[in-house]
Structure 1
């Protein structure tokens, strides 16, 4: 599993700016579809649109003389700001934070009376953050049965107060700021200074501040301008594909080695696909080429200003197709000319730079090194890097591995076991700071370094985590891929990288076999017992001891739920037998047993080491009444999708309560001696004693 690493981690002011910019753009990017929908409705149905429709465009009056409301005004005034606010609040405090943030934003919208994008980007995260702080006041102190009452009313009361704060306090400030920002833009336009913005925008793009600038600043201002004037030049300040196209064309004609060979494909990805980061390594390889990007950008902006052209809504991604779809009806000539002239000027300047540059013997390696530097600045693997490096499925790491996630359908059973096993192995190898968590496929985010999934789920996981390294396993308990992941962690932290830069050195100890991992259990027990500092989006933390108010671990696996000689002779019958033990404890209802079979039909819960852990699907969590685990042994073994299984552990977990027991089970089953003890046990008490840390 070869890797390339750019080991020097991101640091300093640039990192802080990138994080802040990423947060701002993170509120806009998920809602770009709504902006596009608004732009299409505006371009088609307003009075000056292609197909004017009074009822949709919001102009004219009805038969009774009442003005048409239309779709354009309500969408821009209410829908888009509320979506932004909800997204921002959810980024801070999940759905609960999103709801409160949206409530607070409504006060700002009504108070200002104009589209409040800046207000939404303030109130959304503020609502989520304050709700999170308020919830901590009574965390673990609510009496059983009153949780829903307290949660609903606390969110409602604080949301109402936040809406009033927004109405009376925040809206005047945000309105004044929005007006001032609009005046600055208008001043630049009126005085012919707008092209100078390219001096800052083009270098910022290569430093991965493009989304922050475009969607965090220019899009909100551009939407306001588009609402007033029917179009905005601001949407094309960053999204114009011309400057990047010119640089790539120059490499096609005057480049050398791998850069010249890969440039034609990069042109297609950049210009047609709209993924602008594909040309960033070409600039990093010859930093002087930033002058070509600036010259092209200034030419494009100047052309737009002279022709008074613009887009009706943001073009995302920055594909020529997206640009043309969002072009205002009277701006096609100006927009197309701006793209063509920007590409031409960028091409001319880049050609001069490339033709006068000294030839190097290592030109083929320059592109790979530049790609690694780009990914180091970005902080993660680039989704288009394989086109530049030819790495294909080879993992290209952009720095030391920090976050590994195990993902399964429900995020509470097999993934928790696998995470526990790998966490011990990585601890044993000497990397205790590597975070290993588990989550459901549906709740994955694209901020993990490595994603581990069952081989049947890998393609689903890739949709949500395209920039991560993906590792497929056929079982979560003893896959040989774990040793490869440990080696990948070691290589990502090696003292010398292929890029030739220093990195934080890691120990050179061997990860060892299953016994080695267990031998370090005393050292690694803290990793299994301590809760993660951050919440996985699935709500599942790393395994930890029960928090205040949670069900004690000693109540999760009890003697009555242990059968030493199961009667089942098939996989489905074994699932029923394990599920009936959960049902007998009133831990689940009948619906959960059906969900256990549905889960098995989707992805096998076979873990390796003769173990299977059947559990319900993610959608079946409502059928769980309390956390419980059942244990059934089949001394003669039974067939489990072609694998021999002797131990079936039924799992039903509320929140994180079951994860501690799964971690302990995982530790037991990675030790062959303890598996032998389980096979030889003659009483339920012996089984519980083997899992004594579970019931401590």
Structure 2
């Protein structure tokens, strides 16, 4: 089991910076996905061409000619962008940042003629940061009894000024950028080049930028497109479960060792549960499989382009059930075919790759281990990594190589009472891993240890043990430098979970 003490070197690098920026973007969208889904349902059910047209809700004229505002328009124009702005402000400067960010974003919304999702994602955090800098000017200089007065008036004044700036200057600029991005997407669609986007999207997903790509880029553009046409193909570029399904099916049939044994369970979690992160380690184990993911993604996008199909709202998580629920009424054939064909293409290519390397894999000691992926990762880093070097093969018996000399002392230095699984969004793979370990700890009769899941951005330095996928460990260390860190390859069935339980029992934790 790989652990890292507080004295370990604080990691960084361009990759971590990109992941952090992507997580910041998706962090404004992910907590508000329920609002997007609610808007999608209301739009699908109650607009004039929906199955239950209600003028007062759908926002279309009543039979007597009365104009109705409805819910659809105000939700996409005001509710969704303001929720995004508030979340972005909170991420920068807590509640105070959220309030000021929301005030400033109203100016952007009113000053623009289109839904201001991109404007909200910029103005919300920016306004919060400005408020934070303003507060620092008189931090510790306010006389006792005047704190509330100064704080409220300063936030109100800054919010007012930023709302005016947003109305007169920021809104036109962001509107131009938004229109430019939409025009670029439309050009790609008309030119038949949109499938090429998968060349960037699929490798980005495997590097755990999936939430940033989907919710930070495609969701804002897709919602705007959906308002205009009733659907958007952008909701399916990243969320299509087909490519991952094909890769996992190939492992279930042609894989070896633990990879083959765990693939059927991973299929259920990925395809039905919508947690796409579950198949990323399989691709990292065989990097050549990224070709299968790209080809499958391109096939799915091309199919949707051909059939002009799309979703009404984001499919979150990317479960086949969520995809079908959000599918536009005229898009079922195209959407279903996009999933089936994407899975077929990725399966065929994955099967060829796995079959070609099957004999070599079987000859390896501990067949199906992840040593190749670890070596490649170290090569990419350009140096040896204590975290990667200590990783145990996923196929070893539980408890083997329990804790290296010196690591036991690290655990004794800081007793384990709280364990946190952390992933990019804090909802998918981390929740799954937390459930698995929580059940193992419960079966061992240990009641004093809490196991929870969080987004990496929400980690604090008060936790005792943090468990992450190896590609996310460096970012977790930045958030919780004094915690012990364990890197796993597979959140679903890592043998390190048994090692952690054995360690807790050896320390007498109950």
Q: Same fold (TM over 0.5)?
A: yes
Map 1:20-419; keep pairs closer than 5 Å: 20-61=21-62, 63=64, 65-357=65-357, 358-360=359-361, 361-362=364-365, 364=367, 366-367=369-370, 370=373
Q: 1:78 to 1:425 in 2, by over 3 A?
A: same
State the Cα distance separating 1:257 from its structure 2 match: 1.0
Matched residue of 2:151: which SS? helix
Query: Greater helix share, 1 or 2?
Result: 2
Q: Give the conservation status (yes or no) of the 8 Å contact 1:131–1:155.
A: yes
Cα distance change, pair 353–464 in 1 and its aligned pair in 2 (3 A): closer
Report if the CA contact (8 A) 1:243-1:293 is conserved: yes
- Return the index of the structure with the highest Cα Rg: 1
The CA deviation at 1:51 is 2.0
Counterpart of 1:576 in structure 2 is none
Contact (CA 8 Å) 1:10, 1:376: kept in 2 or not?
Answer: no
- In the superposition, relative to structure 1, how do residues 111 and 211 fare at CA in structure 2: closer, same or farther (>3 Å)? same
Rounded to whole Å, the distance in 1 between the matches of 2:149 and 2:63 is 46
Residue in 1 that maps onto 2:452: 462
Pick 1 or 2: higher relative contact order, CA cutoff 8 A, min separation 6: 2
Q: TM-score, normalised by structure 2?
A: 0.75
Give the SS at the match of 1:366: coil
| 2:14 pairs with 1:13 | yes
Taking the aligned partners of 2:227 and 2:310, their CA distance within structure 1 comes to 12
The answer as to whether partners of 2:272 and 2:320 remain within 8 angstroms in 1 is yes
Q: Could you report, residue by residue, the CA deviation over 1:335-383 in whole angstroms, capped at 9, with x for unpaired residues?
A: 1110000000100111111111152314545247748989999x9x9xx
Partner-residue secondary structure (3-state), 1:49: coil
Once the two structures are superposed, residues 395-425 of structure 1 have per-residue CA deviations (whole angstroms, 9 ceiling, x without a partner) of 999xxx9xxxxxxxxxxxxxxxxxxxx9995
User: Cα distance, 1:48 vs. partner?
Assistant: 2.0
Alpha carbons of structure 1 residues 16 and 192: separation in structure 2 relative to 1, 3 Å: same
How many equivalent pairs are there? 432
Output one character per residue of 1:591-629: Cα deviation in whole Å (capped at 9) or x when no partner. Answer: xxxxxxxxxxxxxxxxxxxxxxxxxxxxxxxxxxxxxxx
Contact 1:5 1:372 in 2 (8 A): no
User: Tell me, what secondary structure is at the counterpart of 1:209?
Assistant: helix
Alignment partners' CA distance in 2, 1:268 and 1:302: 26
Asked if the contact 1:259–1:364 (Cα under 8 Å) also holds between the matched residues in 2, the reply is no
Deviation by residue 1:241-263 (Cα, 9 ceiling, x = unmatched): 00010000011111111111111
Change over 3 Å in CA distance of 1:368–1:148 after alignment to 2: farther
Aligned 8 A contact 2:113 2:175 in 1: no
1: distance between equivalents of 2:192 and 2:101?
39
Cα contact 1:9–1:376 (8 A) shared by 2: no
Contact 1:3 1:396 in 2 (8 A): no
Is contact 1:100-1:159 (8 Å) kept?
A: yes
**Given the superposition, is the C-alpha separation of residues 374 and 51 from structure 1 closer, same or farther in structure 2, using an over 3 Å criterion?**
farther
Deviations 1:516-568 (A, max 9, x none): xxxxxxxxxxxxxxxxxxxxxxxxxxxxxxxxxxxxxxxxxxxxxxxxxxxxx
Give deviations 1:637-666, integer Å, cap 9, x for gaps.
xxxxxxxxxxxxxxxxxxxxxxxxxxxxxx
Structure 1 residues 394 and 91: alpha-carbon distance in aligned structure 2, compared to 1, 3 A threshold = farther
Q: SS in structure 1 opposite 2:278?
A: helix
Checking the alignment, whether the CA contact within 8 Å between 2:426 and 2:453 is kept in structure 1 is no
Structure-2 separation of matches of 1:491 and 1:353: 31
Q: 2:400 and 2:57 mapped to 1: Cα distance?
A: 50
1:12 CA displacement:
2.8
Contact 1:284–1:374 (8 Å) recurs in 2: no
TM-score by length of 1: 0.56
> C-alpha offsets along residues 236-286 of structure 1, whole Å, 9 cap, x if unaligned?
000000001000001111111111111101101110111111111111111
Q: Secondary structure at the match of 1:462?
A: strand
Query: What are the superposed Cα offsets for residues 71-107 of structure 1, whole Å, 9 maximum, x if unpaired?
Result: 1100000000000000000000000000000000000
Counterpart mapping for 1:553-572 below 5 A: none
CA–CA separation in structure 2 for the residues paired with 1:350 and 1:148 = 62
Point out where structure 1 has 5 or more consecutive residues left out of the alignment: 402-421, 427-435, 439-444, 473-484, 493-696
